[in-house]
Amino acid sequence: MYILKGENRRRICGEMGSLVEETEGQREYDVAETIFVAVGKNVEKSKTTLFWAVHNFPGKMICLLHVHQPTHEPALNGKLAHNKLKQHVVEAPQKLERQKMQELLDEYLLILDHAGAQADTVWIEMDSVENGIVEIIARHSVRWLVMGAAADKYYSKKLVEVKSKKAIFVCQKAPVSCHTWFTCKGCLIYTRIGRKDGSNIEIATLSPPLDSSLLTEKLELLLSESVFRVRSIDVEEDTDVMGGKLRPISLCSEHPNLSNNGVVDSYGSIPLLMDKEEGHQGRVNNETDQQLELSIMDDHNLKQKVFAETVKQWKEENDCMEAICKEMSQRREMEEFLERKKQEIQKVKDQHDEFMKELLMVKGQRPVLESQIAESKCTEKELEEKIISAVELLISFKKKRDDMRMEHGNAIRVLKHLKKSVNGEDVSFPGTEILEFSFMEINNATRNFDPSWKIGEGKYGSVYKGLLRHVHVAIKMLPSYGSQSLLEFENEVEILSRVRHPNLITMIGTCPESRSLVFEYLRNGSLEDRLACKNNTPPLPWQTRTRIASEICSALIFLHSNKPCIPHGNLKPSKVLLDANFVSKLSDSGIYRLIPQRESTAISASLCTKSNPKVASVYMDPKYLENGQVTRESDVYSFGMILLRLLTGRPALGILKDVKCAIETENFNMVLDWSAGDWPLEEAQLLAHSALRCCEKQPLNRLDLVSEIWSVLGPMRDLCIESVSSLGAKEPRRIPSHFVCPIFQEVMKDPLIAADGFTYEGDAIRGWLESGHDTSPMTNLKLEHCSLVPNYALHQAIQEWQHAQY
C-alpha cells in the first residue's frame, strides 16, 4: 500500500461555509483510493477538470495538486546584503504569495465541499510547473492523476491528443505506475495507462570483459534477469513506433568498470575503447557487438509487442469507459424521466384529491341548492300570478282611460259647440268638426312607427300609412323642433279644417299630443310616381293630364281666394295625390302655418340652396329661396313647373331651358311627351307659353290664375271631356270603399261611428241596435256601449265627392 504524506494541508471545517485553517503534521492517506487533480491559478479554467474528477470518481478522496511558482526578488547590493533587512525584504513577498496560494486552494476546497466530496491539498514550490507535478507524483507515489490536456479554446470533437506542453511533459516523464487521465472542457481526451512493474526500460551496457566467455555469460544473465519497464508513451512516441522507427534507448552498465562514454547511441552504435596493442581483444569486441545488436533487435521487437498490447488495452479501457459513461448518462436520463413522471403522477393524484374534495363539497351543497330551486319555483309561480293580475288590472285601467278620453273628447266638442252658440256663430254646418286621437292610437295605427309603413318624408315631417279605427289613413307627423303652443296648434288646425275642396285632401282628425294630422289615404300614389311610370305603370293620357292641371288650378284659386289667404307653399308633383279615378287632390296645403316662420325659413335654406343643385327644389320660387316668404306668386311658379312636367314628361331639372329653346326654334313638338297620345299641338303650345310665363323670375311678370291661366285651361278641359265622350272612353267613377255602409252597401248620407270603431249609415246602425243586438255587425263582439258619434269628416268627404261627380 502506498502512503501519502502531506504537509501544510488545509481542510474545510466548521459550519455555514466558514473556512478554518488547520496546520497538520504528516498525515497518511491510501494513495490507491485518492484521486489527485492538478489545478492552476485560474479557478474557472481548472473547474471543468475538477468537476470531471468528482463526477467520474464518486466517493473517492480528491486531493488538489498545485505547483506554486515563487517570484524571485533581485539581490540587494552594498552593506544591506548581509544584514537582517535583506532577509525581511525577501520573506515578506514570499509570505504574501503563499497566503494568496492558500486562499486559492481554499476556493477550490469550497467548490469540492459544495459538491459533497472529501478533499485535501498537496502543493510544492518550484519554478517549473511540469517538473513540480512529476516531483509530487514521484515523492508521494501517486497512482491516479487527472489534469488538463489543452486549453478549452482548443477543444473539438476531433481532439484525440494532448496539446499542452505541461501535459506532454508529464505524459513522458511521470513514473509508469501513475495512471493519468487528460481532459479538456469536461471531456476525456487521452488516457495514460499506469503499470505496477516499476521503472523505465533501461538496459545497462557491460564494459568489455577479459574473455568472450565472461561477456556471453553476463549478457545472457542480463537478458534473462533484467526487468523491462515501459516508460510513459506520448503521442510522438506512438507515431515513431508505428512508423517503424526506434526511439533512443539508453543502456546503463551495472559493471563498475564501465566508462561514462560507453553508452549505446540511438541507433545501436557502441563506441568502445580498444587497445591497439591487443588484437585479440578487438575480435572479441566485434563478436560482442554482433550479439549486442541481436539483443537490441530482440528488445525492439519486444517493445513493439508490449506497445501493441498497451494500445489494445488502452482502447479496450477507453471503450469500456465510454460505455460506462454512456450507460451512466442513459441512467441519469432515465432517472430524470422517472422523476418527471413521478412528479406528474403526484400532480395528477393531487388534482384527483382536489376534485374529490370539490365533489364531496358539491354533494353536500346539493340538498341546499335543491331547496333553493324549490323556493325559486314557488316564488316564480307567485310572481306569475301577480303579473297576470297586474296585466288584468292594466287592461281594465286602459279601458277606463279610453272611455274617459272618449268622454273627454265628446265633452270638448260639446263645449266648443256651446261656445259657438253663445258667440252667435253658425253651428248648423258640421264640416268644421274633426276627430281628436290619442298618441296611443297613432302609435298603434302605425305599428309603433314601423319604417316599412313610412310612405313619405319631407321638410315638414314624415308621412306614415296607418289603420285607425278600421279605416286606412295617412298620418302626417310634424317636426318637433320649434313647435307652437297647444292653443296655437289647435287654432291653425281648425283654420285648415275649414278649408274644404274636392281637389284638396280631406283632414279626418288630429293628435295635439304628438303634433300629427290624420288625412284620408289615397292608394293610387302621387303625380310624380305616374309621370315617372313607377312600378311599370302606363303613362297618363294627355286628356287625364289636362284634367289634372285644371283641378290643381281650381284648388289653388280656392286657396288663394279664401279668407285668410292660404297659399300652398310646397307645391310639386309629389304633393298631388291621385284617387282610384285619377282625381287629383293637393296634400300639405298650408302646413307651413303649423310651423313657426323662422323654423320654416331655416329648413328651406338648409335643404334648398343655390350652391347645391342636387338637393335644391326646382319647383320653388327663387324669391322664396331668398326671403322665405310664401305668396300666391310662389304657388304660380310651382304650378308653371308642374304644367311643363305634364306636357313633356321630362325631369324638372333643365326643363325650362329645353322648352324655351324648343319654342324659339319652332320645334316644340320635339319636347312634347307623345307617349300621352296625340296632343292638340296648338293648344299644347299655348299651354306651354302660359307655363313659361308662370315661371318668370320676377313675381309681377307671372300670370294670374283666374284671368289668364284658367282661360286657357278651361277650354282645354272641355276639349278633353268631348274627346273622351266621343271615343266612349269615359268610365264611371268607382265609389270609395269607406264611403259605403257595411250594412246597406250604399253611399252613406248620415255616417255614425259605433263603439266598435266602424262607421255605419245612421238608419242602419240604429235599426241594428233597436232590434236587440248588443254586438258589432262587423266583428260580432259585444259592444261596450250603444252610443253613436257623428263622423263629420267622412260626411264632408262624401259630399265633396258627390259634388265632383256632377
Return the C-alpha cell found at 289: 557487438
Peptide bond into 564 cis (omega under 30): yes
Chain Cα centroid distance, residue 40: 59
What lies within 8 Å, CB to CB, of 806 at 6+ separation is none
Q: What is the 3-state secondary structure (H, E, C) of 550-583?
A: HHHHHHHHHHHHCCCCCCCCCCCHHHEEECCCCC
Return the C-alpha cell found at 549: 292641371
What phi, psi does 565 have (nearest 5°)? -65, 135
Nearest alpha-carbon partner for 505 in 563, 557, 568: 568
What phi, psi does 269 have (nearest 5°)? -80, 135
For residue 179, the 8-state DSSP code is E
- Enumerate the β-bridge partners of residue 517: 476, 510
Answer whether 604's CB lies under 8 Å from 624's CB.
yes
476 is in an annotated binding site: yes
The whole-angstrom separation of Cα 336 and Cα 333 is: 5
- Enumerate the β-bridge partners of residue 585: 577
Pairing type for strands 507-511 and 759-761 reads unpaired
Nearest alpha-carbon partner for 199 in 221, 176, 170, 179: 176
For residue 747, the 8-state DSSP code is B
Please report the DSSP string for 688-722 in residue order: HHHHHHHT-SSGGGSPPIIIIIHHHHHHHHHHHHH
Distances 621 to 471, 599, 640, 700 between C-alpha atoms, Å: 37, 18, 11, 13
The residue written with cell numbers 535583506 in the block is 86
The whole-angstrom separation of Cα 239 and Cα 245 is: 9
The whole-angstrom separation of Cα 469 and Cα 328 is: 100
Annotated binding-site members: 476
Annotated binding-site members for ATP: 476
